[in-house]
Amino acid sequence: MVNLHQTEQNIISQLFDSSIFTSSETAGMAQAKLEMIQAMRRPQTVKRISSFLTDLVGRAPYVFLENMVWLVGEQATLSVDQTRVLLATMKAVINEPNVQSANADHLVARVPIIRQVHSVVSNLDERAIESIIDGLLVDRFGLLTKEKVTVPENERNVVVDAYWSVSHDFTNITQALVNWLKQAQRPAPLSAVQQVNRALLARPFISPATAPDLWPALQTHKEEIAALWWATGRYVLECGDAYAVLLDRKRLPSTSKQYITALGVALSLGAGLPEAELGKRIRQVGKQYYENIKTLNPTMVKDALFEFALAYRHGKTILPTALVDRVIVKQEEAQ
């Protein structure tokens, strides 16, 4: 196993978060990011990162002009509509004069881009196209950023999300994504360790009930699996008698309404709750904690339940994970 340096751990951590690593230097950039970029320019760094990620999940990143793209598991699959919207958006944005000019502010108007994409992907309406663009290029890859501008309307200033600012790495990264999509994606056979690690990356909680096909392999190779995750400098694999959970040391304890409510819901699950009743339970718990329930987003609470490994699905039932028992103990100790 590769013994990673801290800069290599940081690059890999960024790939975990956004699936890409960009190498453009900008004014005021943090020293840690500058060190990562400098390390990426060394072939040995790329080789070590590629070797480690292959050992971990059976897939090395795609490297293009000192930039990395790393899509693995479910993330590596885009629907036909997502792929068409992605490619059409790339072409429309790259052809914008502001993006082609080195001295421009790299702002592009949202509506004209969406309409250009709609002319190519006519089976989707503009709202659906905008949703795909935001999901992929704004939220997932961070290559576009929504910009608020103030415009006069009836002698009053109105703030609207009329533009995207375009990353200076947009052209190189999107080219890398196109190359990635064009590659023949013939999945190589995965080892038992790689299969378990891919499952942990997709869902951090595993038990005999949630993954009966992978549980024996995790039990057999848990020391090797734990060592690989520890080498990232970020993740710790905690194994109990009937569960394993991948803990992210980068995540600070959350105090958001969504997380607090999700924790309350998890504590209330007991022997399980039909998934169809989860929305009702979220509202019930939310009312116990907050007077203004309208500010609570039930979808975000539901996402937090699974993202923080507080609950898992078993068939059509939502069950609490072993982490909830540990939270209860900590609460009692705090009291």
* In the chain, domain spans: 6-71, 80-178, 192-248, 257-334
pLDDT confidence of residue 103: 58
Q: Assess whether pLDDT exceeds 60 at residue 331.
A: no
CA gyration radius, the chain: 22
In the CATH hierarchy, which fold is given to the domain comprising 257-334? Arc Repressor Mutant, subunit A (1.10.10)
Q: Assess whether pLDDT exceeds 50 at residue 59.
A: yes
Q: Which residue has the higher pLDDT, 19 or 251?
A: 19
pLDDT confidence of residue 255: 60
Q: What is the mean pLDDT of the chain?
A: 84
Q: Assess whether pLDDT exceeds 90 at residue 291.
A: no
Q: Assess whether pLDDT exceeds 50 at residue 151.
A: yes
* Among candidate residues 231, 186, 230, the one with its CA nearest the CA of residue 58: 186
Q: Assess whether pLDDT exceeds 80 at residue 121.
A: yes
80-178 and 257-334 share one fold: yes
pLDDT confidence of residue 303: 84
Q: Assess whether pLDDT exceeds 90 at residue 230.
A: yes
Name residue 146's beta-bridge partners.
164
**Which tens digit of pLDDT belongs to each residue from 304-329?**
888 777 888 888 899 888 777 766 53
Look up the pTM and report it: 0.77
> Confidence class of residue 214 from pLDDT cuts 50, 70 and 90?
very high
- Does the domain at residues 80-178 carry the CATH identifier 1.10.10? yes
pLDDT confidence of residue 157: 54
* Among candidate residues 246, 255, 218, 241, the one with its CA nearest the CA of residue 307: 246
Q: Which residue has the higher pLDDT, 116 or 65?
A: 116
CA 277 to chain centre: 27
pLDDT confidence of residue 84: 92
pLDDT confidence of residue 6: 93
The set of residues, in sequence order, having a beta carbon less than 8 Å from that of 228 and lying 6+ positions away, is 1, 55, 56, 193, 197
279/261 Cα distance (integer angstroms): 12
Q: Assess whether pLDDT exceeds 90 at residue 115.
A: yes
pLDDT confidence of residue 329: 38
pLDDT confidence of residue 152: 60
134/143 Cα distance (integer angstroms): 10
